[in-house]
Amino acid sequence: MTDLDAYLRRIGYTGPRAPTVAVLHAVHRHHALAIPFENLGALRGAKVDYTLPALLAKLVHGGRGGYCFEQGYLLLHMLRALGFIAVPLIGRVRPAGVTGILGLTHMLMRVECEGRVFFADTGYGNLSLLEPLELKPGERLHHAALEPRRLIAEGPLLVQQAEIKSVWTDIYAFSPHEAPAMDFEIGNWYTSTYPESRFVRNLIAVRLEPDRRHTLLNREYHVRFTGDRLESRTLASPAELREVLVQRFGLVLPADLSLECAELKWTA
């Protein structure tokens, strides 16, 4: 049972439920604005559970967010429940300044409706999409996120890029063809349990609003607005960190949830 009604209440969507382009954009946008990106589960170094019952308990009923495999599989299940043709894809992240080839550790999906092909992705943290990207390689899209986005072809792959300070920057490369379940199993295991994974060593949270993005990396809290205005501050205590996660990121945090990780230090 997908519990579609509960999911739509969670994201605040009350519109039509037909598998149309308009509904796809609306549901994607509502999801992106309602469910924050966060890796609090991975801080324990325990494999993250992205089965549907776990996702419903945590992201829908529990007031929490999740990272790409959780966000992706939840949206995938719900789009299918709405009647969309949706398949999971996996990609290689291309962080700025990194020249080597990284593992297959990012989940997104291909969605087909009304004879058109879109790529949906609510789980990339500080560069998550507000709305899906249509398969029109090279076309500059403003509405998808705070930064203009585009897809470019690279041999058999597609690369999502963001225009940052007038420079087109790679975000990740992916095959547009459905990936096998084992790729996600391995990618999720590596991302959430490998001791050197950035998701095990760092506390990360991101929340989107229509005109701004809240980002937390350990003690550093930033709010970036449309037009590139930036507000930043360093959090001074564990109590302030918990307050920001609740008040600014909208997370429901159990009192006993550990927020400790290797890179989060409170001493000078």
**Mean pLDDT of all residues in 248-256:** 93
pLDDT class for 26, splitting at 50, 70, 90?
A: very high
pLDDT digits 0-9 by tens, 117-132: 999 999 999 999 999 9
Ranges 49-63, 67-81, 91-105, 182-196: which has the least confidence: 91-105
Cα separation, 112 vs 85, in Å, equals 5
pLDDT value of residue 178: 98
Quote the pTM value: 0.96
Beta-carbon contacts of 64 under 8 Å, excluding residues fewer than 6 positions away, are: 38, 40, 58, 251, 252
pLDDT value of residue 28: 98
Q: Average pLDDT, whole number, for the chain?
A: 95
Cα separation, 84 vs 11, in Å, equals 18
The residue among 56 and 139 whose pLDDT is bigger is 56
pLDDT value of residue 98: 81
Q: How far is CA 6 from CA 56, 64, 73, 145, 224, in A?
A: 9, 14, 16, 26, 31
**Mean pLDDT of all residues in 139-152:** 89
181, burial (CB in 10 Å: exposed 0-12, middle 13-18, buried 19+):
exposed
**146 pLDDT exceeds 70?**
yes
pLDDT digits 0-9 by tens, 165-204: 899 999 999 999 999 999 999 999 999 999 999 999 999 9
pLDDT value of residue 267: 67
**268 pLDDT exceeds 70?**
no
**Mean pLDDT of all residues in 134-143:** 88
Bridge partners of 207, per DSSP, are: 214
**Mean pLDDT of all residues in 147-154:** 94
The residue among 228 and 153 whose pLDDT is bigger is 153
Q: How far is CA 261 from CA 176, 179, 255, in A?
A: 35, 31, 17
Crossing angle, helix 4-11 and helix 21-34, to 10 degrees? 70
